[in-house]
A and B are shown apart, each in its own frame.
Chain A
Amino acid sequence: MTDTTFLRFRSELDSFFLLTLLNVVFGALAVAFAIQFIVTSILGLTDWSILPLSRIAAGAISMICFGLGLSWLISSVEIMDGIDDIRTEIKGRTSPISDEILISGIVRMIAHYREHKKTIRTMILVCTLGGFCFLALGILNGLEFASIGLTSGTFTLNSYLLIPSALLALGIAAASLLSSYYFKRFSRAWDLRQDGLSLSEHALAEKLGRE
C-alpha cells in the first residue's frame, strides 16, 4: 500500500510542479506581451492629438494585464519554490520506501498547501482575470487591424504582421484560463484532504488523551 501511495504522491508532486513551472513560463510571457502591447498601443501613436478609443482601451487593458502577469509570475515562483524542495527529496527515492519518508512528504506537502492556500486562491483569481483581459486584448488587436465591408461583404486584414500578436494574446488567455482551472482542481483535492485531516485530528487527540 505504501508503494502505491508513494507513486501516487510522486505523480501528484510532478503534476503540480509541471503546472507551476508552466505558470512561471506563461506568467513571464504575459508580462513581456503586456509590455509589448503597452508600447504598441500607446507609445506607438504617431499623432498624439487624435487618440482612438480602441487604442486607449487596449492601453488600459495592457496595463491591467501587466499587473496581473506580474502577480501571476511572483505567485507561481513562490509556490514552485516549496514544491521543488519537497520534490527534490522524493525524486531520488525508489520503491520500496519507508512509511516515515512517505508520511514526512505528505506532512510537508500539507504544510506547504496550508502556507500557500491564500496565494493559490489569488492565483485562481489572477489567472481567471488575466485570461479574460488577454482575451479582450487579443480580440481588440484583431479587430483593430481587421475591417469588414458591410456593403460588399468582404473581410480584410490591414496588417498580417499583427495577426501573430493577437494570436499570442489569445494563446496566453487560453493558458491563463486553463491554469485557473487546474489550480482549482488542485485546491479542491487538498481542501478535501485538509477537511479529512480535521476529522482525523479528533482521533489523534483522543489517542494523546487531549480534548
Chain B
Amino acid sequence: MDCPCRNMHSQKNWDGNDTMKTERRTQYEIYWEILVFCRSPRSFTAIVHRCDLNSKAGQEYIGFLCSKGYLSRTDEDEKTLYVATGRASEYITLFSELYQKLFDTIPGFKL
C-alpha cells in the first residue's frame, strides 16, 4: 500500500482551524500528523478533516498505519474509532528527534 510521496493538501493550524493553505507534506509528515492526532480515539471523518486528506488518501494512510500496527481500530456506539498504539509513540519520537536534530545541526537563517 503506497501513497504518493508528495501530497498537496490545505493545512490546519494547531487549534484545528482551517488556514486554507496549499502546502506540500511528505507521506512521513502525514503519518506523524495522523498518529499525533490519534493519541485519543478519533473517527475517520475527524482524521481526514484534521489532516486535510481526501477520502481515498485518508483510507490509504489509515489502512497502512493499521496494517503495520501503529493504529488500532475500535468500535464504539456503532462508530469506528482509530487510536494510536504503543508502536506509534516510537515513530512519533523518532520523527520528532530527526526533525529537531536537523533544525539544531544545520546553521539557520538570520538577518
Contact = CB atoms under 8 A, between A and B. Distances in A.
B111 A103 contact: no
Given A107-B29, A111-B11, A99 B96 contact: yes
Nearest to A100: B36
A107 B21 CA distance: 14
B106 A189 contact: yes
A189 B21 CA distance: 23
Contact of A200 (B22, B90, B98): B98
B95 interface: yes
Interface in B40-84: 64, 68, 70
B97 to A, nearest CB: 9
B81 to A, nearest CB: 20
A16 interface: yes
A132 interface: no
A18 interface: yes
Nearest to A85: B19
Instruction: Report the interface size class on chain B.
Output: 35 or more
B91 A8 contact: no
Interface in B80-111: 90-91, 94-96, 98-100, 102-111
Instruction: Report the interface size class on chain A.
Output: 35 or more
A82 B23 contact: yes
Contact of B104 (A1, A208, A210): A1
Given A99-B96, A106-B103, A115-B22, A189 B109 contact: yes
A109 B68 CA distance: 29
A202 to B, nearest CB: 10
Contacts of B28: 201, 204-205, 208
Interface of B: 6, 11, 13-14, 19, 21-26, 28-29, 31-33, 36, 64, 68, 70, 90-91, 94-96, 98-100, 102-111
6 contacts: A11-B110, A16-B109, A107-B25, A107-B29, A111-B29, A189-B108
